[in-house]
Every structure is written in structure tokens, then in C-alpha cells.
Amino acid sequence: MPSLTLLGQAVVSGLLAGGLYGLLALGLSLSWGLLRLVNLSHFALALLGAYLTYQLGHVAHLAPWTAAALIVPVFFVVGMALHAVFARFRVTEFTSLLVTFGLAVILESVIQWFWTADYRRYETPWASASTRVGPLFVPTLELLACLTAATLALATWAWLRFTYVGKALRAAAEDPAMAGAFGVNHRAHAFVLSGISAAYAGVAGAFIALISTLAPAQIWVWLGTVFAVAIIGGLGHPVGALLAGFLIGVSESVTMAVAAPAWAPLVSFSILIALLVLRPERV
């Protein structure tokens, strides 16, 4: 059994990693829960965002926040464009999975074409910065990512909960025809939500660039875990996605500390399988 400090450190890094999971799951959960579109290319878009942040920082020497400020609005437009394709071809929940699967592969190829399959590392002065809390280390960038995730999740929650557009989106997810009868233009809102979801992928990408080593195949590494997070958190529930991210992050890092690092995926996927088999009506 590892020491208490080690366990504590595992919990801290789990929470921080979980914040990033939650951030990635946020966009997926929104479009799946509220538009019934499963966007597998969300991860590819996030990784593209990471590479662009890297490129703008490494080559054009733009600060990561400047890069993000450029990337996020562009991604918003990309998300809307993607939705235009879905709307044009009346893509169903299931075909959206296949189409975005293809799109993810294309994006992976694009990334590999420009940046090759070699690992890329965006070296910044903040990469090794950390705060010490008692015996525990809290890396600054991870903390920032986690706080951003929490802020976005709460802001999205408040937007869905308190604004008319947010309520209209939730109402249309339940009964689009009735929402329409009260004046909701769901088609227009769906574009906005798709844009937001893609913009969140851009935000996540900026942090991925700062925190981890980049490789094109990472698209598929995140996929399983983040899907598990989105489903466990409840589709369309931003705060749920965040909390599920924490749950998975902590259970993975504690598993790593107690058993071996390689056992970590077993936890998240077992939770996902159990949830699908025991409570399929929640999805």
C-alpha cells in the first residue's frame, strides 16, 4: 500500500487530469445530449487546436493565450460549418458517428502531413511551474486547465439553465415540435451550439499543447476515456461531465498509484460498461 502522501498526490493529479477530461467531454456531451449528434471528430479537432497552438507559439512566437484567442473563434465557425453538412444531409445519430469517424481520420492525416508522426513538445517557461500545498505538488498549467474547465462547465450550465436560448435548447432536445410551437427556432440554435462545442475543443486543444506531448495518434487515446466521461456525466449536462471527469481522473490515478499505470484504462471502461449494462436508459 502506498503512503498517504503518494495517495494524496495521486488524488490531486487525478483531479487535474480529470478537469481536462471534463473539458474535452463538455463539447461532446452538449452536441450528443442536445442535438443527438455523436461527434467523434471532437477529439481530432481538439488535437488540431493543440498543434495550431504549438505552431503559432513555436514558429510565430505567439503567446498561447493569443493563439487560443485566434483559434477559438475559427473553431466556432468550423463547428457551424460541420453542422451545416449534418443539417443538409439530415444526418441521424448513428450516421453522425460514422461521418465524424471519417472526419477524425482525415484530421489525423492532416496533422500527420504537416507535423509528421514524431512527438512534438511545446516548451514554455510555465511547463515546470508548480505550487506546493503542504506535502503536495500542484502543477500550475494543469491547475489552470482544471479551473478553465470548471469555469466553462459552470458558465455553460448557467447558460442552459437561465437564458432563454439555453432553455430553448433543452426544451427542443425533449420535444422539438412543441418548442417550435412556442417560437423556438431550433435549427438556428443548433448551429450556435455546434459552434460552441467546437470552440470548446479549441480551448481544450490549447491546454493539451501546453501540458502534454503531441502525437497524431493521441486522437484515439483520448476517445475511449472521454466517451466514458460524457456518458457517466449524463449527456447534455455540463457539470455532470466535469464531475465525471474528476471521478474518472481520480480513479485512474489512484489505480496507477496502487496497482500499475497500465491498469488505469480498466477502471474507466469498466465503469462505462457497468453503466451501459445496468442503466442504459440514462444515456
**Smallest separation (angstroms) from another protein to the CB of 84:** 13
**Smallest separation (angstroms) from another protein to the CB of 105:** 4
Identity (one letter) of the amino acid at 38?
A: V
The two beta strands, 130-133 and 136-139, are antiparallel
Give the total of residues touching another protein (CB under 8 A).
59
Indicate the SS3 state at residue 165: helix
Segment 144 to 203, residues that bind another protein, using CB under 8 A: 164, 167-168, 170-171, 174-175, 177-186
The DSSP code for 202 is H
Q: Considering beta carbons, is residue 69 or 273 the nearer one to another protein?
A: 273
What does the alpha-carbon distance between residue 230 and residue 173 come to, in Å, rounded to a whole number? 17
The residue whose grid cell reads 474518472 is 248
User: Per CB under 8 A, does 7 bind another protein?
Assistant: no
Cell numbers that stand for 268 in this block? 474507466
What does the alpha-carbon distance between residue 197 and residue 226 come to, in Å, rounded to a whole number? 14
Binding another protein (rule: CB under 8 A), the pick from 108, 153, 203, 244 is: 108
**What b/e readout covers 6-18, taking b as 16+ CB neighbours within 10 angstroms?**
eebbbbbbbbbbb
User: Per CB under 8 A, does 256 bind another protein?
Assistant: no
**Smallest separation (angstroms) from another protein to the CB of 12:** 24
Indicate the SS3 state at residue 193: helix
Given a contact cutoff of 8 angstroms between Cβ atoms, the answer to whether 183 and 172 are in contact is no
User: Per CB under 8 A, does 135 bind another protein?
Assistant: no
User: Per CB under 8 A, does 269 bind another protein?
Assistant: yes
Segment 18 to 47, residues that bind another protein, using CB under 8 A: 38
Binding another protein (rule: CB under 8 A), the pick from 89, 119, 126, 137 is: 89
Count of other CB atoms within 10 angstroms of residue 45: 28
C-alpha pair distances (Å), 224 with each of 29, 138, 237, 261? 14, 26, 19, 17
**Smallest separation (angstroms) from another protein to the CB of 109:** 4
Q: Considering beta carbons, is residue 142 or 252 the nearer one to another protein?
A: 252
C-alpha pair distances (Å), 69 with each of 28, 53, 200, 219? 21, 10, 12, 23
Binding another protein (rule: CB under 8 A), the pick from 97, 138, 144, 215 is: 97
Binding another protein (rule: CB under 8 A), the pick from 5, 119, 224, 258 is: 224
Binding another protein (rule: CB under 8 A), the pick from 1, 4, 59, 262 is: 262
- Give the binding site for another protein (CB under 8 A): 38, 85, 89, 91, 93-95, 97-99, 101-106, 108-110, 112-113, 164, 167-168, 170-171, 174-175, 177-186, 220, 223-224, 227-228, 231, 260, 262-266, 269-270, 272-273, 276-277, 280-281, 283
